[in-house]
Amino acid sequence: MSPRIDAIRPRKGPPTLYGGGSGTDAARLRTDGGIDRARPDDLLELAVDRGRVPWQVGALLVLDRAPDPAAVRQALADRVRSIPRLRRKLVRTPPLCGRPVWIDDPDFAIERHVREVTCPDPADDAALHEVAMQAVGTPLSLRHSPWAAVVVTGLHGRGALVVVFHHVLADGVGGLAVLTRLADGAPPVENGGFPRRPPGVRRLLGDAMAARTRAVAHLPRGLRQVRDAVRELRATRAPRAPRSSLTRPTGTRRALRVVRADLAAVRSVAHAHGGTINDVLLTAVGGALGTLLSRRGESTPQVVVSVPISSRIDTDAARLGNAVGVLPVAVPTTGPPIARLAAVARTTADGRAAPRAASAVLLDAAFRLVALTGALPWILDHQDLVTTFVTNLRGPTRPIAFLGARIDAVVPLTTTTGNVPVVFGALSYAGALTLTVVADPDACAELDALVADLRTEIDELCAATNPSPRPRAAHRSG
């Protein structure tokens, strides 16, 4: 007899897996496969999804021509076969059987995950960005694999595809692995025998007991991980976020703005001052937020930025999930741009000395424990540890294509949660650096001015290293 799946409402956690089931289910589920457990980091991402906006991320792919929607649906149906998680759903296990597991969804249907939307104004990037943010803001069901693709039509010669997934499915590094696998030229890797039979209770219990035994045997290593986690969290000595209007409750609306910069220029200024591309981004964000606060009549010498740090540089489509810690960075808001860059570079260099994403050990346990009490939404709405979030991903260095259409741009799509009304994302692709600002427009009415200040900060940083005239970063107000 196969386990039976009980569905519950989305955003409340995965369905439950337990013994029993009908003969029909058993006929549809084939040979038993390996156990694909959710990582502790994945459960943290699931716990965070308690706010007014779903905890989802994605990417907007801008194509040089419009693909046929039916062809997109067929291509995705074929290509997801090589990405196991995109045809699996997350289910809870019986008591003592360990963390939730990903199992093949016998009811998988590509039509459930792919839909079409017509852009209301093909000539305006703002309209396209609004479509993308609506896609990210539409809750995905956990009854099936939590991802979606939106084919944007009506762009008059251009095409666009929005890919969205719940954060429990993958982090940013994993999301890039998915996009690469969905693009043209990826070698087909068939996930044969679909759908496989879910692991039985006896096997789940045995696997969970073996994991607990290994944990006891590796207790010294676990203690070292806790030590490394404390070291990472204390490395930057970042104080609590100063009181300002940048930490306030958020509503349900989100707006997207995009700034594009030359990747080589940003890399050049970073290396010239002993920093990284991420240091340049943090410096620009700090300066732009400082200007915003100054306009509001507030004086804040620094802001605290939470920077996600992945424990892996890359991954593949068969190894998704989350492996992310955080690095809180105190970023100055005033002073010459190059001086601020040097200060940020020194601060982050200390933080990078700790093992990558070591803080996840403590944060995962703490957040999940708080989530069990039901207090997590209140804490997220009243936290005073960080001012904003800045993510940075390294995408393909050369242009890629989808159904023969060249992908001209990849725009990272993030969201905000709790009392952080403005967040920033960056992604490098084919020599370009795309920066996004996502904000609650009701809590940050000066969004366009903030984006203009961010562009100015990047221009000034690049000009300080290369005084020769150069084109300004392109600003898109969408």
d(CA 15, CA 106): 14
Q: What mean pLDDT do residues 415-431 have?
A: 91
Q: Is the pLDDT of residue 22 over 50?
A: no
96, burial (CB in 10 Å: exposed 0-12, middle 13-18, buried 19+): exposed
Q: Is the pLDDT of residue 5 over 80?
A: no
Lowest mean pLDDT, pick from 22-36, 271-285, 412-426: 22-36
Residues facing residue 170 across a β-bridge? 321
Q: What mean pLDDT do residues 359-382 have?
A: 67
Q: Is the pLDDT of residue 216 over 50?
A: yes
56, burial (CB in 10 Å: exposed 0-12, middle 13-18, buried 19+): buried
Nearest CA to 337 out of 261, 292, 273, 257 is that of 273
d(CA 372, CA 377): 11
CB-based contact 101:89 (threshold 8 Å)? no
Q: What mean pLDDT do residues 413-432 have?
A: 91
Q: Is the pLDDT of residue 26 over 90?
A: no
pLDDT-above-70 percentage for the chain: 75
Q: What mean pLDDT do residues 317-331 have?
A: 69
pTM for this prediction: 0.83
- Tens-digit pLDDT profile for residues 342-361: 999 988 886 555 554 455 55
In one-letter notation, the amino acid at residue 368 is: R
DSSP 337-375: HHHHHHHHHHHHHHHTTSPTTTTHHHHHHHHHHHHHHT-
Q: Is the pLDDT of residue 418 over 60?
A: yes
- Tens-digit pLDDT profile for residues 174-200: 778 888 889 998 877 666 678 888 999
d(CA 229, CA 289): 29
Q: Is the pLDDT of residue 21 over 70?
A: no
Q: What mean pLDDT do residues 403-408 have?
A: 95
Look at 12 and 468; give whichever has higher pLDDT: 12
Question: Which pLDDT belongs to residue 209?
Answer: 87
Lowest mean pLDDT, pick from 107-116, 147-156, 208-217, 414-423: 208-217
Q: Which domains does the chain have, with CATH numbers?
A: 4-115+138-210 (3.30.559), 218-476 (3.30.559.30)
Question: Which pLDDT belongs to residue 39?
Answer: 82
Residue located via tokens 């989802």: 56
Question: Which pLDDT belongs to residue 156?
Answer: 86
